[in-house]
Structure 1
């Protein structure tokens, strides 16, 4: 039922919404999984860093103990002392003696090497160790790969068990340890190649692939302060490149849902923007409702003796809106008071000069029951006419009888206005409720007869009979009769025969026009001329 009043978007627009929403959903899920992977990779890297720092500390401490040992190198006492050192430091696999020309002479595990084991002449130098060999093959056993770090005449070999029990969250990740200055790779962990390790450490800073592109690594690096090594963790598949089929389907379904929701919401928003209440609020805020003015003519003389202000609204979205529609909408949504006050100010400003020039000239303004019964509105109108130097008796408030239930409310309200000197006009008399009771209860200054009775003149219909009855009804009352919808001089003749002081409005004289045109009509008084009175208009 809700969507039945909504102008749904075309399939082309829905398709665009869906494509954009699915793309946005995939990207958001990419960022979500990327964030999770980055967090897990950071924990993994910090675990490697922590274990590496412990290993470096133990290597440095064991080397210092060996260097400061005053036993004869490679003697039983020296070997036993180094074996005791191994017991203290679980991340040290072996410790021994090395010569200045890079030959391993003996170790705590293997004893004396005969002949000594020659290491390569070229090694890596850093500020913690005199020289190191990150990778040596077949050092003690064929096929065995170990790293060797030396200081003074001692060397250590870190234990391969140093990095066991470190939790990694996926098989696509790994870590590379390397020197912070020369970027010599000490070791790689898990499922990365040396080529991938070289690429990872070549990035100047952490590489987070916010934009999903193929073969773009997620890398995080840490270089601990006080150490000469760095570690870079690598994730080779991130974001939606690592999403499962179920995660892809979920992302697409979320995109479809929000795409349809966005399309429908936008349609509802656009429909609401075109709704009467929305446009009316917008018109009030931007002062878009205006007034046109229709002359009230003394039928016997043709003289314009007053003006009725008629509200009009031309909306950009809705076009021309009937006063019956937007006035009813304003009443239902408690907007009638600000609307009336806005229009009253315009009416008084437009007609001010004519009201001041002729104390008998009147301005008729339509009021709702809400405005009439609102005590603050009376204060408002008092202030407005006082500021403009207008007499209360020049202002006629027209009230339409819409409900018999309004009788008591209207009765009290009209008395307040009458006591202040304003005139009250009963609009559309004969078409509403309780005509006679309203007429006797409120004692209006003026009664307006609806155009449907005027159109019945000469037809011998019920409306014609009702019109004649109205003449008889008000003949002995001190009220003015105003006839709406006059279109011919024959109608004027008929009305003046029955009511010589009748007042009329209608297209015979003028449609509702702007204030400038009213000024010209008042100046020229064209309906008083003999030519006009002698000739009808088509």
Structure 2
């Protein structure tokens, strides 16, 4: 066979055989691992879901009592203000409102509707008169959410209440089991939403390819499913053989791939070279005072061109995160911004530049010191560098609060970017103690369309103002959108193609010089 080794077809066949054999062995090994480890992992996951479910439903029940005992006239301005104050103190609610005679009248977020709206059919009614809607369309947007009501009150539960606990290995359903009834209704998760059933018995079991676990406590029940292998215990003796064989094939395949691709640079390597040879550049999009049209800031946007080809940030930034290069990339962005904009910032003390940072940067304890040293070298004050983080970066609340406090103590302002896309609440932002929000362009695009989503924009702005949050509206592209936000009180800043597309630092300098 050695005489065929240098022939291309032989190497292709060899690679195909190794790939097929390695994949088969990997499948066997992974199924064996699932069988041996799944039960313990499933127990931990189901208990975490159950703890969260009890917190969610307990808070909902407590708030229904608070609403029904409101000291103010039904849906009066004072009562709506009272409902908003109560909503800000909740963790897992998106809205709370008033209903009567089968109609929705008002809510903390929606305000007082022009006319009562009929309620949709409920999924379950308890003997005590509690109504459960497993997945009902909400008044404030085109989305759906679980709703619980009793008397003349209802509460909208946050559909993202369990997002931080999700595990791709499992499918689950969180069920509401009202006191005084043996019925349950699926409220959260990917299994049986809206399905009425009897309360499941606690325990584990297996049906075909599916292993399941049921747990219940108080008014909450959780069912977790996982697909597992049907390999029997008789397969255990060959585990070692398969492991060795799979490892050998994997090593051989890896060696062949490395040899065949030794002259091809990976995206990671290309990015490392770009970082090492100043291959990244910056563009800046103006942020303006919508009421006056005056440019007050700019957002820094990183760009990468290689051999004349532009590589989008949404391609290379995930690569940097996965490869452990994201901190290096962020520092490169900061250094380029200071190189471009230090003279501009020095000449315009009220002007600032916004820089996006990732969750890895936020939780890196060395990041704030790295940033401070570079600002000191460039003689730029920290108040002129605003840091933007995403809602997803703050999923771990305790660590996020500490990290934000650390950066704010050095004088930086912190904004939540693309606010509204993560379905987080302004109450949660109060816990994070950030300085402002950037309203996502999806809200801006509804202006002038007659969409019901438009009604939430003044509510977001008003409630953000109550909590002393600065506001930037993203994606302003038309005069109608600009005029809409210019008429709102309090004032907001805006960003979008109407005011200027991303451009060079030189153009920003010329723009600011023309205003002085």
Tell me the TM-score normalised to structure 2 length: 0.49
Tell me the TM-score normalised to structure 1 length: 0.47
Larger radius of gyration: 1
